[in-house]
A and B are shown apart, each in its own frame.
Chain A
Amino acid sequence: EVQLVESGGGLVQPGGSLRLSCAASGFTLSTYAMSWVRQAPGKGLEWVSAISGSGGSTYYADSVKGRFTISRDNSKNTLYLQMNSLTAEDTAVYYCARLSCSSSSCQSPPRNWIDPWGQGTLVTVSS
Chain B
Amino acid sequence: ETGVTQSPTHLIKTRGQQVTLRCSSQSGHNTVSWYQQALGQGPQFIFQYYREEENGRGNFPPRFSGLQFPNYSSELNVNALELDDSALYLCASSLMAGGGNEQFFGPGTRLTVL
* Chains A and B come from one and the same complex: no
